[in-house]
Amino acid sequence: MPKPHDLPALLADIHREASDLFGQGRVASYIPALAEVNPHQFGIAIATIDGQTHSVGDAHTPFSLQSITKLFTFVLALKLEGDALWQRVGREPSGAAFNSIVQLETENGVPRNPFINAGALVITDILTTRYAHLDYALLGALRRLADEPGLHWNPRVARSERDTAHRNMAMAYFMKSHGNFRNEPEAVLDNYCRQCATEMSCAQLAQATLFLANNGRDLSRSGQPDEQFLGPDETRRVNALLLTCGAYDAAGDFAYRIGLPVKTGVGGGIVAVVPEVGTVAVWAPELDAKGNSVLGAFALERLVAATGWGHTSF
């Protein structure tokens, strides 16, 4: 790991270099409210398990987590269901777009993994059965992990996604026809759209995911006791899935370029886990053709090259 005093200078360099890439991607527009975001924003935050935090740029501006929430809902479902979960969702990379329907037909309504939309909908279906108010349950977990009591989901973004969620709804009905959906698709979609509309800053996201770098142990900074949020074995497995499936159909490219467990979202955020070291959250709204942040991916690639994190710790 670089010396602590080197990280701020490194982040400043990376931020400056990455800013040259503004204009190379496009802000997601299929959810109308996301298209209103100012594209020229870019933040990076690092949290380490030994208590350091570093940030640069717009690292304290809340953004729409979108698919990054799939990481947290998956962890909640894994805690509740254990291995029974794998009867309803697979754990293979899809090699297809995040919102692809095609595999569902040939694979009998069982999605490839929990991080593509179809798989995340099954996870939200599982949690809808378990929680009367899933949004409170999820926010409760996130507030605790991030040490941020004010975290919320954005009702305008949730409404905007819900009004245009035709493809996700189609997948939900299709899975229901195969017996892989327990609740009414409408109710699950309500929960899913609220979940995706959760907002956090890079600094908060890095903190909220730190347990994944720390063998599942959440390190509280607000005076509450630390908590074994997820078992060490489960944590290792979650990280393996993030490495292989966390970046849609660019997961192989991300593994090659960055080599860390990551989760990306169409809000332009990416969180990366450096096991035994810490977490890195990046956010810049302009996306490449596969729905991943252009500046964010570049920044992670540069950071890993400069620190060696991808090579030494996973």
Applying CB under 6 A, the residues found at the interface with ligand GLU are 66-67, 98-99, 117, 161, 168, 196, 265-266, 291
* Residue 63 or 98 with smaller CB distance to ligand GLU: 98
CB 233, min distance to ligand GLU, A: 27
CB 215, min distance to ligand GLU, A: 27
Give the CA count within 13 Å in the CB-facing half-sphere of 20: 6
CB 98, min distance to ligand GLU, A: 4
Six-digit token pair at 194?
């609220």
- Is 266 tagged catalytic? yes
Contact 111, 103 (CB under 8 A): yes
* Residue 157 or 277 with smaller CB distance to ligand GLU: 157
Contact 196, 168 (CB under 8 A): no
In angstroms, rounded to a whole number, what is the distance separating the alpha carbons of residues 218 and 226? 6
Residue of 55, 56, 64, 70 marked active site: 70
- By the 10 Å C-beta count (0-12 exposed, 13-18 middle, 19+ buried), 199 is classed as middle
Q: Which residue is nearest to ligand GLU (CB)?
A: 67
Closest C-alpha to 278, from 43, 9, 12, 45: 45
Residue of 75, 110, 248, 282 marked active site: 248
Contact 45, 205 (CB under 8 A): yes
CB 33, min distance to ligand GLU, A: 11
Contact 192, 120 (CB under 8 A): yes
- Is 67 tagged catalytic? yes
In angstroms, rounded to a whole number, what is the distance separating the alpha carbons of residues 220 and 147? 7
In angstroms, rounded to a whole number, what is the distance separating the alpha carbons of residues 273 and 183? 33
- By the 10 Å C-beta count (0-12 exposed, 13-18 middle, 19+ buried), 87 is classed as exposed
CB 89, min distance to ligand GLU, A: 16
- Is 70 tagged catalytic? yes
Residue of 55, 64, 67, 94 marked active site: 67
CB 99, min distance to ligand GLU, A: 5
* Residue 48 or 66 with smaller CB distance to ligand GLU: 66
* Residue 196 or 238 with smaller CB distance to ligand GLU: 196
Phi-psi category of residue 164: left, alpha or beta, with phi > 0 → left and psi -120 to 50 → alpha = alpha
* Residue 117 or 239 with smaller CB distance to ligand GLU: 117
* Residue 119 or 265 with smaller CB distance to ligand GLU: 265
The set of catalytic residues is: 67, 70, 192, 248, 266
